[in-house]
Amino acid sequence: MILETVQTEGIAALSYLIGDDSKGTAAVIDPRPDVEIYIALARQRKVSITHVFETHIHADLMSGARELAARVREARIFLSSEGGAKYGFDHQPIKNGDTFEFGKLVLTARHTPGHTPGHTPEHLSFEAAEKSRLPRAWGVFTGDSLFVNSAGRPDLMGSDQAEALAEELYDTLYSYYLSLEDDVIIYPSHGHGSPCGASIGDRLTSTIGYERQFNPFLHHPNKAEFKEFALSTAPPEPTYYKRMKKINAKGPEVLGNLPQVAGLPPQAFQAAAKRGDTLVIDTRNMLAFGGGHIPGAINIGGLPELSVWAGWLVDPDLSVLLVLENDQDVEKIVRLFLRTGFTRFAGYLVGGMKAWDNAGLALAETDQLTVHELKQSQDQFQIVDVRSPDEWKKGHIPGAKHIFLPELDDRAGELTKSKPVAVYCDSGYRASLGTSLLEQDGYQVHNVPGSWQAWQKAGYPVAT
């Protein structure tokens, strides 16, 4: 048997290549859209990808099922028909109890609804067993139903259906998962940092026995108490979830390759930026961006979390213009955008900001304010904390105002333009994004590099 875990940082997604090398066949479960990694792993492990499974219609990333099946012509897509799920592309419908053999390995579909970020309770999990030891399972690919230390969120269809979904999730957890043996290994589709569940644990795998003992979602056998707990712990829902759900149900466009991005010299880049259908995104680090950037650009640094923040804050109808740290980074950055559905690129700035500078074109700057400077002149600033509500509750700078980053555009009017603004987050990454958004609205704004981490390490006061 082969089993490879593909971890997609930033969106904290986990997908799997599983199969039997003696038979030469394998399946991929919940592929991401940049599918080259599965093809490379299959080649390395000398297997053919014949099955592509989705545990559910994803809302947190663009599915790679169609892309992978198109690239690997032997592969077929297998999708849940439970709950009346509808799809806009060719696939093989499957239901609870269906089995699939890969040599000595057998995967069995199990209907596990409750986490349903969309219109139908279609969620499936896949039990893994040795053919000679059926029905005894050794593992289960849980999708978004059971996580390490957490469980799927049932609140994404609105309050009118949230209670019903919480009941379904309860039945999934207590009637199905807790009926499994303690040594069954769980392989979830998300890890720590994903908004698909509350406080998902750091480990990528666990066991039913460990979760039975320590997972707080499994400590509320009273259904009413469970519903109250499950609905009260969900993190904020990213705005791109509904868009991703629609794209994945309809079927993402098959690209055949990574989106191509044309290199533009400075004058051509400037002309493209002046069109009404483009947005300049500077992917350099916060200090480079602060030192000098194209007026009107927003700063989403080229780290894995770019996928989430682009999905949450960038209008998908606009074509993206990229400013890169190095021209060689273009494919890496495009992959990050692709994961939350961005396929339209108007170009990248050839030669980066050095070429822009040498062309004598306009520059904007963002002042950087250390935590020591902020502490010494705290009363002179409107201090804005753009972290999540949970982060804010655990501790923040005294006198700060909490505006969660995705709400900044709508709530910027709560700030006055006559007084400087200092923006902080945990490390400065989100703060720099926030300052670039406020700059567009005409605020006199400062980024705080190091942000909350630096404030705490300096031993400055903390409010809770």
Report pLDDT for 157: 57
39-43 long-range CB contacts below 8 Å, 24 or more apart?
A: 39/68, 39/71, 39/72, 41/4, 41/6, 41/17, 42/17, 42/72
**What's the Cα-to-Cα distance from 87 to each of 82, 302, 307, rounded to whole Å?**
12, 33, 25
Please state the length of the chain.
464
Residue 156, judged by CB atoms within 10 A of its CB (0-12, 13-18, 19+), counts as buried
Q: Which ranges in the chain are annotated with CATH 3.60.15.10?
A: 2-250
The C-alpha atoms of residue 53 and residue 91 are separated, in whole angstroms, by 10
User: How many Cα atoms occupy the beta-carbon half-sphere of 36 within 13 Å?
Assistant: 8
Q: Which residues pair with 150 in a beta bridge?
A: 147
Structure letter (DSSP) for residue 176:
I
When the candidates are 3.30.310.10, 3.40.250.10, 1.10.486.10, 3.30.210.10, the CATH number that belongs to 367-457 is 3.40.250.10
Question: What backbone phi and psi angles, to 5 degrees, belong to 415?
Answer: -100, 155
Taking a C-beta distance cutoff of 8 angstroms, is the pair 154, 201 a contact? no
Report pLDDT for 127: 98
Report pLDDT for 198: 83
What is the token pair recorded at 192?
A: 């720590």
Q: Which ranges in the chain are annotated with CATH 3.40.250.10?
A: 263-358, 367-457
User: In this structure, which topology does domain 2-250 adopt according to CATH?
Assistant: Metallo-beta-lactamase; Chain A (3.60.15)
What is the token pair recorded at 173?
A: 């957890």
Architecture of domain 263-358: 3-Layer(aba) Sandwich (3.40)
Structure letter (DSSP) for residue 234:
P
Q: Considering just the CA atoms, what is the radius of gyration of the chain in Å?
A: 24
**Residues 6 or more apart whose Cβ sits within 8 Å of residue 382:** 401, 415, 416, 419, 420, 421, 422
**Angle made by CA atoms 186, 188, 192, in degrees to the nearest 5:** 115
The C-alpha atoms of residue 388 and residue 412 are separated, in whole angstroms, by 16
Report pLDDT for 118: 47
**Angle made by CA atoms 390, 391, 393, in degrees to the nearest 5:** 65
Q: pLDDT truncated to tens, each residue of the chain (464 aa)?
A: 999 999 999 999 999 999 999 999 999 999 999 999 999 999 999 999 999 999 999 999 999 999 999 999 889 999 999 988 899 999 999 999 999 999 999 999 999 987 655 445 899 999 999 999 999 999 999 999 999 999 988 876 555 677 788 888 999 999 999 999 999 999 999 999 888 888 899 999 999 999 999 999 999 999 999 989 988 887 788 889 999 999 999 999 999 999 999 999 999 999 999 999 999 999 999 999 999 999 999 999 999 999 999 999 999 999 999 999 999 999 999 999 999 999 999 999 999 999 999 999 999 999 999 999 999 999 999 999 999 999 999 999 999 999 999 999 999 999 999 999 999 999 999 999 999 999 999 999 999 999 999 999 999 999 99
Q: Which amino acid is at 434?
A: G
Strands annotated E in 31-103: 48-53, 76-80, 92-94, 99-102
Model pTM above 0.75: yes
Give 106-127 as a 3 state SS string.
Answer: EEEEEECCCCCCCCCCCCEEEE
Q: Strands across the sheet with 278-282, in order?
A: 263-264, 345-349, 319-323, 278-282, 298-299
